[in-house]
Structure 1
């Protein structure tokens, strides 16, 4: 049986390559039917903002990568509720189907469900 993997994305979409790399890891895992989940925390939740403008920083928009998650069978997508609230983001403002985890205990329980965890 394949080992499960949780990728925790903590970087803002335009702070470097980390945000794109996290999505690439998840998409690659999905392509090989690996049981995989994605958790957005800290500035990583900014990747979920509908109002992103990649042209302002002369980079590619990550929205297409987020939309591809569903095509690759990635359904376990989560966001830290505290991180969303600290950045004034609400579920209605997100550009992806994300389950909000309101408590730190919920995040600990999520991490415990996976065999491997990568923080990017």
Structure 2
């Protein structure tokens, strides 16, 4: 079975990209596809706890993030450089994720058959 890596690069409040990435992951997980998620650039803000999505008249992505393991999606990764650039730390993330340096990111991308970037 072909593996898929979904790279989520948009903040949770900058449009529909963040929600679409999670929807694709959950749909793939429902069909038991091997799915990995990578949060990169402003996408790391999706993993920041305590977001007030309702203030921006948007839906909170926290429930979708918490549902990932229920759909068999446990390969969740985040870019170390993106975290540092945005003043976030690994201990602050709302869900468990492996923090990867640039070399590990390249290796992760190379191991997947399909890569979707949103």
What range is the shorter-chain TM-score in? over 0.9
The TM-score with structure 2 as length reference comes to 0.98
**Cα displacement (A) at 1:117:** 0.3
Match of 2:117 in 1: 119
**Cα displacement (A) at 1:51:** 2.3
Residue correspondence of structure 1 range 79-90 to structure 2 within 5 A: 79-90=78-89
**Cα displacement (A) at 1:68:** 0.4
**Cα displacement (A) at 1:24:** 0.3
Distance 1:79 1:56 in 2: 26
Residue correspondence of structure 1 range 4-19 to structure 2 within 5 A: 4-19=3-18
| Structure 2 counterpart SS, 1:107 | helix
**Cα displacement (A) at 1:72:** 0.4
Match of 2:69 in 1: 70
**Structure 2 spans left out of the alignment, 5+ residues:** none
Residue correspondence of structure 1 range 1-120 to structure 2 within 5 A: 2-101=1-100, 103-120=101-118
Distance 2:85 2:55 in 1: 23
Distance 1:111 1:85 in 2: 21
The TM-score with structure 1 as length reference comes to 0.96
RMSD between superposed Cα atoms in Å = 0.6
**Cα displacement (A) at 1:92:** 1.4
Distance 1:109 1:49 in 2: 25
**Structure 1 spans left out of the alignment, 5+ residues:** none
